[in-house]
Amino acid sequence: MAKESQNSHESSHDVRVAATSKIWGTTVGILALCIPLSAVTRSGAILPLAAIGGAAAGTVAVWRPDDKKSQPKYLQQQQIELLETRIANLETIISSNDFDLQMKFKNLEASERNQQTLPEH
């Protein structure tokens, strides 16, 4: 069991290392393009700093702890009771609406029968 946990930790570590190396490898390529471009466009250090900032943000996103993502989210007992109460209320509303609709149909049928039995003048 501990070995499985260690293997999953190592595989996630390997994925993070691979992602980080791709991020920074791409950033080096971007820097190789940005430095000559910054001289031509006279933008100064904005382009290289933007590339480094993007790589840093990507690295932070890859390496941030995923404790919040992996924890199952359970509803508290109070929330469950509230949801059950709301479902019961909705069932009651639907049942009463259904009963009202059935009564309207019966009244409509009765009025149609009365109109058919009345003699025409």
Query: Do 66 and 85 fall into the same domain?
Result: no
Query: Do 51 and 78 fall into the same domain?
Result: no
Paired tokens of 83: 């949801």
Query: Do 33 and 78 fall into the same domain?
Result: no
State how many domains the chain has: 2
pTM to 2 decimal places: 0.45
Query: Do 100 and 89 fall into the same domain?
Result: yes
Low-confidence winner among 22-26, 36-40, 88-92 (lowest mean pLDDT): 36-40
Query: Do 7 and 46 fall into the same domain?
Result: yes
Question: Which band of pLDDT confidence, cut at 50, 70 and 90, is reported for residue 100?
Answer: confident
Query: What's the pLDDT tens digit per position in 1-30?
Result: 445 455 555 666 788 899 999 999 999 998
Query: Do 59 and 110 fall into the same domain?
Result: no
Query: Do 66 and 86 fall into the same domain?
Result: no
% of the chain residues with pLDDT over 70: 79
DSSP string, 36-96: HHHHHHT-TTHHHHHHHHHHHHHHHHHHS--HHHHS-----HHHHHHHHHHHHHHHHHHHH
Measured distance CA(110)–CA(3) in Å, rounded: 76
Query: Do 78 and 115 fall into the same domain?
Result: yes
Range of the domain at 20: 1-71
Query: What's the pLDDT tens digit per position in 67-83?
Result: 665 555 667 888 888 98
Query: Do 62 and 110 fall into the same domain?
Result: no
Query: Do 10 and 55 fall into the same domain?
Result: yes
| CA distance readout (Å), 32 to 17, 23, 35, 38, 54 | 22, 14, 6, 11, 15
